[in-house]
Amino acid sequence: MRIGGTMPSGHSLNGKRAVAAQRATPVAVALLAAVAALSIAACEPQRKVGALNDAGTAQAKSFSSIAQDILVPRCATSACHSGSPPPAEPTLDADLAWSALVGVPSQQASGTQLVEPFAPERSYLVMKLRGTAGSAGGIATVMPIGEAALDEADIAAIEAWIANGAPND
């Protein structure tokens, strides 16, 4: 029974509300921060293929340097990805490689693209270079076939280029 605004235990009702409010405040602040972060993320414009990603520009090489330094000497050989038509798709000749790779569906693993801009972990090219294509339903053979695998720096350069949106320069 309430007498004069106090609870039978002698604590005021307002005191209990104050304690409950103090306990709820960190939870409410965290919830409000999460909602705000999601709202901000939802308002960001969608990145377009070839658009620069500020976080990755420092380490990403240009496509022309990747083609010149990696793809043409290591992959665009007459035995593999060079010629018209090449013995193995896609063609990786310097002037055709970008359009043959970026946004193009993989013929070996359905549901994947050879290069999915901003997503090196989902790009079939990276899976082939790392030997993980089998996990995506593709052929697990490491590229280039019959040659030494690309070194980690070359694969990292390709991944950085893809993470940066796979721009064509």
Q: How far apart are CA 63 and CA 90, in angstroms?
A: 16
Cα–Cα nearest to 160, from 93, 48, 94, 62: 62
Sign of CA pseudo-dihedral 45, 46, 47, 48: negative
CA distances 164 to 109, 122, 154, Å, are 23, 14, 15
pTM, full prediction: 0.64
Kind and range of the H or E element at 161? helix 152-163
- Give yes or no for a contact between 154 and 141, defined as CB atoms under 8 angstroms apart: no
* Tens place of pLDDT per residue across the chain (169 aa): 445 554 445 444 555 555 554 555 655 544 444 444 444 434 444 444 444 444 343 366 899 999 999 998 988 777 788 778 877 789 888 888 999 999 999 999 999 999 999 999 999 999 999 999 999 999 999 998 888 899 999 999 999 999 999 999 8
Q: How far apart are CA 133 and CA 135, in angstroms?
A: 5
DSSP 26-71: HHHHHHHHHHHHHHHHHHSPPPPTT---TTTTTTPPPHHHHIIIII
What is residue 154's predicted lDDT score, i.e. its pLDDT?
94
- CB burial of residue 165 (10 Å; 0-12, 13-18, 19+): buried
- Give yes or no for a contact between 47 and 58, defined as CB atoms under 8 angstroms apart: no
In the chain, domain spans? 1-44, 63-163
